[in-house]
Structure 1
Amino acid sequence: MLKYLFMIIFLIPLSFLWCFWWIVHSLMFLISFIFMLNFYLCTDFNMISCFFGVDYFSFYLILLSFWVCSLMLTSSSSIYNLNNYSCLFNFVILFLMIMLYCSFSSMSLMMFYIFFEASLVPTLLLILGWGYQPERLQAGVYLIFYTLVASLPLLIVLFKINLIIGSLFFPLFVDFGSFYFMFYLFIVLAFLVKMPMFLVHLWLPSAHVEAPISGSMILAGVLLKLGGYGIFRVMSVITFLGVKFNYFWLSLSMSGGVIVSFICFCQINLKSLIAYSSVAHMSMVIGGLMSMNWWGVFGSLSLMVGHGLCSSGLFCLSNIIYERLGSRSMLINKCLINLMPSMSLWWFQLSSSNMAAPPSFNLVGELSLLNSIISWSFLSFFMLMFLSFFSATYTLYMYSYSQHGKNYSGVYSYSLGYFREYHLLVLHWLPLNLLFFSASFLCI
């Protein structure tokens, strides 16, 4: 377990050498493939070392973190070409990868909390250091304010658990029964803000819009999943109260997902639309985790991995257009099917994956979550029906509005896609669809 951590740590000295950018980039992909070879289907903790271990749930999220961090370097070659503090950028990504790796593999709730909060620091540096508009300062304050304010009560809760049980290790957790309702409220709220749930989601669109492409990729791809992973881990402690009160979070997330879907129709900024669609998808993940059954856990994991790849790919597409036109407005980004016809194929494939069309891994996750949430309450069928329908509608709105229409008259010259960009999109789309065929093994 520690060998992967040391591999990343030993890459840090190389990151400070400008000429070693592509070596660090290649070695990150190598670590991803080596970690992938340890694939197993055990539900208990494995590869245990000093305070670290992975199980079925965390293995996929660590692998997703490795993959997305590697693709972040691929997508940010303009930072290397312009020498825009590329060495520092490399270091920030490697530090973020260490924090994510430790978060998903830590077997202590206190360690998880520390690394969970520490992952905000490199994300904030990405937004403030390599963001685009001056509003990135406000977006950074939103990000820190929302997540820290919601997480500080969780720290008090952790001290209370340690006082009662005498340990914060996940395998030693027991259900507290009806004890301490405030504990249940604080611990759930901290993770729901991170996901984010409707009503506490305002930090996400602003952070996405102001972040560079690498910041958007890691936010959508991995950081939103920290909240879902935390809920999965602590649900064994709060089962008794969860059975009584989870209906509130489930109802709020389902109705919030429908409201956010309507908000998506009002967006004219490509990044903002993709960011709001992430909130709608995460509402289904919250519903699956709160239903507390196996279908919900498997569906949440599937949708988190599928959404991480799909949403990250859509942000890459919006950045490819932004680098050419200098705008993300859909009033300007029109008729792209004539300007970049081969890129329209990738718009179509990733948009279809975003609406959970086969053969994308999102379909496996959404079908599992449909089973889970409807088995919890048949009345939730109506909300799920609206969520699925509107998900397809705003994705088609985004695709058709950007690919068709009349050319913006200010466009006089245009460059087609580079090999690096097609390579980046293939590495998003290929695992997203290959995982669909392995879903039968994952259900075991």
Structure 2
Amino acid sequence: MMKFLFYMIFMIPLCFMIDMFWMVQFSLMLLMFMFMNLSLTYLSNNLSYMLFCDYISFGLILLSIWICLLMIMSSENLFKLNYYVNFFLFNILILLILLFLTFSVMNLFMFYLFFEGSLIPTLLLIIGWGYQPERVQAGMYLMFYTLFASLPLLMGVFYMYTEMYSMIIYFMKFFNLNFILLYFCMVLAFLVKMPMYFVHLWLPKAHVEAPVSGSMILAGIMLKLGGYGLLRILIFLQEINLKLNYVWLIVSLVGGFYISLKCFCQVDIKSLIAYSSVSHMSIVIGGIMIMNYWGYFGSYIMMIGHGLCSSGMFCLANINYERLHSRSLYINKGMMNFMPSMSMWWFLLMSSNMSAPPSLNLLGEISLINGLLSWSWMSMIMLMMISFFSAGYSLYLYSYTQHGKFYQGIYSFYGGVSREYLLLFLHWLPLNMMILSVEYFMIN
């Protein structure tokens, strides 16, 4: 694991060299294929001084590297305008290093440190390369929501050290801490990060103000930090979680249904995609909280699938934005007249978003529904509604943008370029091909 970390650290000087924009992306692709060759047969193969890599870490680190190289590919506009492009690459690389460490570190305090540290490059992305003046307010929302909930997490981590005299995540499975205050301290920060309904307001705001790269990393990886944290933390809070999990389940399922309805009210494309993320994550929270096998690996699959699908949809929204300079659904109409080939990619990614086969989202959703129904048949009602309306708002977004009479104020236009098609292809291919190796996701 250390070799990959040093690879990324030694890439930093590349960011500050002239005309090295695509070289950085190529280096990340090389890192991606090197990391894919990692042997996962024994955990001892991947242990170093402080880092480890098991199945959960492996998938999420792979996703982080993939999304970061696609972020560079989607931000060619910055390269053309030479808009602080060196600092932009440096920012992405630092963010990738922090995410890599978050997913692979063994020490719980270090996990907290990198978990919070990854906020800073994201904040810089939103404030530095965002579009509207409201981006500062969105950045403040992001910081205060997540930092307010994470201070109790820090207290909880310190308390656990006094109980266990160790911070190693793998040793914690031997403990069972049945304390209600500790439980709320540990869990709340991750639920805000997911985000759960009631504490989700920072997400649509951050997405709307962020540049395409900021939206991609927020949707692709930052929401998964919360899920990863819960998967690790709930191991030693099992007893109390089984007493209190119905609270989170009710809030998540009812909130997911309400947010699905809210998607139909949106007139901003990015806002609609952001709200759909909240809806999908609500089922993931449910899957993690019920603490059975189906819920556990279903939530993991859903996180990987949603990371690729949501990121691809933000790319599509940005492709339209670069041409029309508007994210409004009223202006982004009748795109099939101008970009018929891009219309196919809208269709493919929207179908994945509504969990159509053969996407990973389908597999994740089936497992989560199976798990939640085994917990209580009553959850069927909300799950039915969420699944139905997720198909509804995906169709709504697709038909509104692609069909209808186009906006008369458009005065110049050009079709998609090969870079954009490749970008969308690299989102869609792993999302739909990984279902062929589903045995990897059945975490032992």
Where do residues 6-17 of structure 1 align in structure 2 (5 Å cutoff)? 6-17=6-17
Partner deviation per Cα, 1:276-316 (whole Å, 9 max, x = no partner):
00000000100000010111111111000000000000000
Residue range with higher mean Cα deviation, 166-175 or 89-98: 166-175
Partner residue, 2:412:
413
Do the aligned residues in 2 keep the contact of 1:4 with 1:31 (CA within 8 Å)? yes
Where do residues 45-444 of structure 1 align in structure 2 (5 Å cutoff)? 46-174=45-173, 177=176, 179-443=178-442
Residue type of the alignment partner of 2:2: L
DSSP-derived class of the 2:20 partner? helix
Q: Sequence identity, in percent?
A: 57
CA displacement at 1:398 relative to structure 2: 0.3
Count of aligned pairs = 443
TM-score normalized with structure 2 length: 0.98
RMSD of aligned residue pairs (Cα, Å): 1.1
Do the aligned residues in 2 keep the contact of 1:175 with 1:238 (CA within 8 Å)? no
Do the aligned residues in 2 keep the contact of 1:46 with 1:55 (CA within 8 Å)? no
CA displacement at 1:179 relative to structure 2: 3.5
DSSP-derived class of the 2:19 partner? helix
Query: 1:3/1:176 Cα in 2 relative to 1: closer, same or farther (>3 Å)?
Result: closer
Residue type of the alignment partner of 1:15: C
Moved beyond 2 Å, runs of 4+: 39-42, 174-180, 440-444
CA displacement at 1:180 relative to structure 2: 2.2
Residue type of the alignment partner of 1:114: L
Whole-Å separation in 2 of the counterparts to 1:369 and 1:18: 48
Whole-Å separation in 1 of the counterparts to 2:225 and 2:283: 15
Whole-Å separation in 1 of the counterparts to 2:44 and 2:404: 53
CA displacement at 1:3 relative to structure 2: 0.5
Whole-Å separation in 2 of the counterparts to 1:179 and 1:299: 26
Query: 1:332/1:45 Cα in 2 relative to 1: closer, same or farther (>3 Å)?
Result: farther
Query: 1:236/1:45 Cα in 2 relative to 1: closer, same or farther (>3 Å)?
Result: farther
Do the aligned residues in 1 keep the contact of 2:125 with 2:211 (CA within 8 Å)? yes
Whole-Å separation in 1 of the counterparts to 2:279 and 2:397: 15
Residue type of the alignment partner of 2:374: S
Whole-Å separation in 2 of the counterparts to 1:175 and 1:183: 17
Whole-Å separation in 1 of the counterparts to 2:13 and 2:304: 31
Partner deviation per Cα, 1:209-264 (whole Å, 9 max, x = no partner):
00000000000000100000000001111101011001110111011100100110
Do the aligned residues in 2 keep the contact of 1:302 with 1:364 (CA within 8 Å)? yes
CA displacement at 1:18 relative to structure 2: 2.7
Whole-Å separation in 2 of the counterparts to 1:178 and 1:104: 23
Residue type of the alignment partner of 1:63: L
Do the aligned residues in 2 keep the contact of 1:51 with 1:106 (CA within 8 Å)? yes
Do the aligned residues in 2 keep the contact of 1:41 with 1:442 (CA within 8 Å)? no
Residue type of the alignment partner of 2:198: L
Query: 1:248/1:175 Cα in 2 relative to 1: closer, same or farther (>3 Å)?
Result: farther
DSSP-derived class of the 1:137 partner? helix
Where do residues 29-48 of structure 1 align in structure 2 (5 Å cutoff)? 29-38=29-38, 40=40, 44=43, 46-48=45-47
Partner deviation per Cα, 1:312-358 (whole Å, 9 max, x = no partner):
00000000000000000000000001110000000000000000000
Do the aligned residues in 1 keep the contact of 2:52 with 2:106 (CA within 8 Å)? yes
DSSP-derived class of the 1:134 partner? coil
TM-score normalized with structure 1 length: 0.98
CA displacement at 1:22 relative to structure 2: 1.1
Whole-Å separation in 2 of the counterparts to 1:168 and 1:98: 21
Residue type of the alignment partner of 2:295: G
CA displacement at 1:412 relative to structure 2: 2.0
DSSP-derived class of the 1:235 partner? helix
CA displacement at 1:178 relative to structure 2: 6.0
Residue type of the alignment partner of 2:363: V
